[in-house]
């Protein structure tokens, strides 16, 4: 089994819990891990800023990254949270343009980093691998379109519950899971006021679906959260591409 010396069997197993990485051929998996190096960020430290030159792709191994845009006046719009074992940075692999948003560590974060130059050399040698990275990017595009549709068509409570389902499912845990996101961060992701966000979360807490705590939200009943969110069968199938398949709703 090939791979960088620091890539342990446990780390490899963790990476494989990501539906995209877990679907790769053994050849591409080994080639990526041969090129990989570890990175660490302190809480509040930026991985990159909007406008930075693209340097490669990353996988989050511990901690979390906040992807956001910030105006000149300092107002921040949070677009997503990237948690283990999710990958990011693949868009620039195709167009070689600068980073479009900021990525900052929300907590102490450990990353796997695959540098751009050797990755481009690998893709030149093995162009069949381009399809795998196209699949990774297309999955992100699908979720972006879903988010745009939700924003245009759904009520605040449905938008919030659907986003919680996506965040919980991306964590890869089928039972209870703790989302390291505050109420204000969640509201910023959805364009909701803190008051509206709190009211919706309090209602879900009263139903026993989740528990609110400082700086985090614990999902207690994912199946019930899925039910409240009103996900279609197509939505559930798509979510199955970023984690364990959603089980039938027992409620």
The whole-angstrom separation of Cα 87 and Cα 76 is: 22
Sheet holding 210-213, edge to edge: 177-179, 216-219, 210-213
pLDDT over 90 at 109, yes or no: yes
Mean pLDDT of the chain: 89
Residue-level pLDDT at 230? 86
144: Cβ contacts below 8 Å, ≥ 6 apart? none
Residue range 156-239 forms a domain whose CATH class is mainly alpha
Quick check: helix, strand or coil at residue 30?
helix
Q: Which two tokens stand for residue 192?
A: 């909701």
Judged by average pLDDT, the poorest of 2-11, 21-30, 215-224, 231-240 is 231-240
CA nearest to 47, candidates 97, 91, 82, 95: 82
Give 194-229 pLDDT, tens digit per residue: 999 999 999 999 999 999 999 899 999 988 998 899
pLDDT over 60 at 116, yes or no: yes
Residue-level pLDDT at 147? 84
Query: Does the domain formed by 9-140 have CATH 3.40.50.2300?
Result: no
| In the chain, where the domains are located | 9-140, 156-239
Quick check: 91 and 31 in contact, CB under 8 A? no
The reply to whether 9-140 and 156-239 are identical in fold is no
pLDDT-derived band at 125, boundaries 50, 70, 90:
very high
pLDDT-derived band at 94, boundaries 50, 70, 90:
very high
Helices and strands of the chain, counted as H and E runs: 11, 11
């Amino acid at each position: 089994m090939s791979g960088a010396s620091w890539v342990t069997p446990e780390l490899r197993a963790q990476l494989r819990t990501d539906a995209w990485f877990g679907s790769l051929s053994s050849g591409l998996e080994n080639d990526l891990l041969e090129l990989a190096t570890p990175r660490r960020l302190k809480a509040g430290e930026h991985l990159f800023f909007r406008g930075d030159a693209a340097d490669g792709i990353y996988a989050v191994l511990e901690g979390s990254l906040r992807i956001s845009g910030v105006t000149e006046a300092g107002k921040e719009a949070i677009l997503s949270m990237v948690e283990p074992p999710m990958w990011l940075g693949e868009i620039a692999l195709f167009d070689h343009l600068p980073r479009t948003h900021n990525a900052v560590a929300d907590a102490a974060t450990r990353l796997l980093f695959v540098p751009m130059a050797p990755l481009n050399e690998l893709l030149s040698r093995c162009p069949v691998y381009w399809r795998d990275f196209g699949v990774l990017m297309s999955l992100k595009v699908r979720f972006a379109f879903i988010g745009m549709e939700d924003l245009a068509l759904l009520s605040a409570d449905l938008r919030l519950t659907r986003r919680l389902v996506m965040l919980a499912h991306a964590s890869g845990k089928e039972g209870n899971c703790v989302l390291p996101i505050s109420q204000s961060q969640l509201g910023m992701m959805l364009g909701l006021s803190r008051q509206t966000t709190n009211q919706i979360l309090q209602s879900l807490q009263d139903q026993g679906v989740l528990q609110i705590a400082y700086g985090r939200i614990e999902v207690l009943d994912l199946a019930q959260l899925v039910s409240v969110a009103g996900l279609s069968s197509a939505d559930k199938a798509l979510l199955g591409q970023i984690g364990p398949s959603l089980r039938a709703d027992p409620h």
